[in-house]
Structure 1
């Protein structure tokens, strides 16, 4: 991983075993997402515009 600095989602609870994601936005032109329970597992790396579109879609959900 090229220096990603992951931050746990503010919607993630503090209890172990919960479904949580971590997001890294510190590398230019990329947003990396990973499962907080599997920090050495695979990453999903998106363009910032794709991440912004994804987040906008989540905000529109009832």
Structure 2
């Protein structure tokens, strides 16, 4: 497994906003970090956790 996440990218829906996160890959996991504070580290999720999170966003469960 790599020691640091690879392929960081912002959501295509960011549209220039400063309040966003970036997602990268760390082996089989998704790594997430604050775009404004990249040096602050990141957290990782399992594939199942990431799928559950994305599904919740797409179905407006956070409104």
TM-score where L is the length of structure 2: 0.77
Higher strand share: 2
Runs of 4+ in 1 over 6 A off after TM superposition: none
Higher helix share: 2
Let me know the Cα RMSD of the aligned residues.
1.8
The number of aligned residues is 59
TM-score where L is the length of structure 1: 0.78
Question: Unpaired segments of 5 or more residues in structure 2?
Answer: none
Question: Unpaired segments of 5 or more residues in structure 1?
Answer: none
